[in-house]
Chain A
Amino acid sequence: MNKQIANGLRVGLTFGIVNIFLFLIKFPVIAGTIIKKIIPNFIVALFPINPDILDILIFIGLIGIWAGASGGRKLDEKSDNWLTSFVGGAAAGLVNALLIGALVFILGSLTDAHVKINAYLAAILPAVVKLFLLDQNTLNGSLTQFVFSFVAGALGGVLGFAFRGQWFASLKNKWNAAWASLTENPQIKKTFARPIARIALSALGIAFLLFIPQIAGKYWNYTIGTVGIYVLLGLGLNIVVGFAGLLDLGYVAFFAIGAYTVALLTAPNPHHLMWNFWTTLPIGVVLAAAAGILLGIPVLRMRGDYLAIVTLGFGEIIRILATSDLLTSFTGGPRGVTAIGQPTLFGKPFSSDTDFVYIIFIGIAIAIFITIQLRSSRIGRAWEAMREDETVAQAMGINTLSHKLMAFAIGAALAGLGGVLFASRNQFTGPEDHNLMVSINVLSVVIVGGMGSIPGVIAGAFALKGLPEILREVQDYRILIFGALLVAMMIWRPEGLWPTARRSMELHSADPEDPESGEAKTSEDKP
Chain B
Amino acid sequence: MTIAIETLGLTKIFGGLVAVNNVDLTIPDKAIFSVIGPNGAGKTTFYNCITGFYVPDQGSVTFYGQPIMGLSPDQIMYRGIARTYQNIRLFPSMTAIENILVGAHSRLTTNLIDAIVHTPRFREEEARALDEAKRLLKFVGLAGQGDRVARNLPYGAQRRLEIARALASKPKLLLLDEPTAGMNPNETTEMIHFIRNLRDELGITILLIEHDMRMVMGVSDRIAVLDYGSKIAEGSPAEIQHNPRVIEAYLGRNASEAQN
Contact = CB atoms under 8 A, between A and B. Distances in A.
A contacting B, Cβ–Cβ less than 8 Å: yes
Interface of A: 369-370, 373-374, 377-382, 384-385, 388-389, 391-400, 406, 502-503, 505-506, 509, 511, 513-514, 516-517, 522, 524-527
B163 to A, nearest CB: 13
B129 to A, nearest CB: 8
B110 A378 contact: yes
A517 B101 CA distance: 21
Contact of B116 (A374, A382, A394, A514): A374
Contact of B102 (A382, A513, A522, A524): A382
Contacts of B229: 527
14 contacts: A369-B116, A373-B115, A380-B115, A389-B89, A389-B91, A393-B102, A395-B51, A396-B102, A396-B165, A396-B169, A397-B105, A513-B152, A514-B151, A527-B45
B77 A396 contact: yes
A396 B116 contact: no
Contacts of A398: 74, 102, 105
Contacts, number: 125
A385 B93 CA distance: 9
B108 interface: yes
Contacts of A517: 92, 151
Contacts of B53: 391, 395, 524
B165 A388 contact: no
A218 to B, nearest CB: 36
Contacts of A526: 14, 19, 40, 44-45
B73 interface: yes
A377 B126 contact: yes
B72 interface: yes
B1 interface: no
Interface string B1-42: 000000000000010010110000000000000000000111
Contact residues of A: prevailing secondary structure: helix
B14 A525 contact: no
A355 B260 CA distance: 93
A397 B94 contact: no
Interface residues of B, number: 51
B53 to A, nearest CB: 7
A396 B100 CA distance: 10
B210 interface: no
A395 B169 CA distance: 11
B74 A394 contact: yes
B256 interface: no
Interface in B73-90: 73-74, 77-78, 82-83, 85-87, 89
Interface of B: 14, 17, 19-20, 40-42, 44-45, 48, 51, 53, 72-74, 77-78, 82-83, 85-87, 89, 91-94, 98, 101-103, 105-106, 108, 110, 112, 114-118, 122, 126, 149, 151-152, 154-155, 165, 169, 229
Task: Pick from B48, B72, B91, B94 the residue with the most CB of A within 10 Å.
Answer: B91
B73 A394 contact: yes
A373 B165 CA distance: 24
Contacts of B101: 378, 381
Nearest to B151: A514
A385 B92 CA distance: 9
Contacts of A527: 14, 17, 19-20, 40-42, 44-45, 229
A460 to B, nearest CB: 21
B226 to A, nearest CB: 9
A381 B51 contact: no
A379 B102 contact: no
B21 to A, nearest CB: 10
A236 B74 CA distance: 27
A92 to B, nearest CB: 40
Nearest to A525: B44
Contact of B77 (A397, A406, A506, A509): A397
B117 A513 contact: no
A174 B89 CA distance: 44
B118 A406 contact: no
Task: Pick from A382, A391, A506, A514 the residue with the most CB of B within 10 Å.
Answer: A514
B115 A374 contact: yes
B118 A373 contact: yes
Given A396-B74, A505-B149, 16 more contacts: A370-B116, A373-B116, A384-B94, A384-B98, A391-B73, A395-B83, A396-B165, A509-B93, A511-B152, A513-B154, A516-B87, A525-B44, A525-B87, A526-B44, A527-B17, A527-B19
A382 B149 CA distance: 17
Task: Pick from B94, B108, B115, B152 the residue with the most CB of A within 10 Å.
Answer: B115
Contacts of B45: 526-527
A513 B102 CA distance: 23
B75 to A, nearest CB: 8
A392 B102 CA distance: 10
Nearest to B106: A397
Contact of A395 (B19, B73, B92): B73
Nearest to B102: A385
B93 A397 contact: no
A522 B105 contact: no
Contact of A399 (B51, B74, B149, B154): B74
A397 B83 contact: no
A373 B48 CA distance: 35
A396 B103 contact: yes
B48 A524 contact: yes
A377 B89 contact: no
A479 B83 CA distance: 48
A391 B53 CA distance: 9
Q: Which 9 A-B pairs have the closest CB atoms?
A: A397-B106, A397-B77, A377-B115, A527-B19, A506-B93, A388-B91, A394-B73, A385-B102, A527-B42
B89 to A, nearest CB: 5
B37 to A, nearest CB: 10
B74 A379 contact: no
B74 A505 contact: no
A374 B117 CA distance: 9
Given A398-B102, A400-B74, A522 B122 contact: no
B56 to A, nearest CB: 14
Contacts of B102: 381-382, 384-385, 393, 396, 398
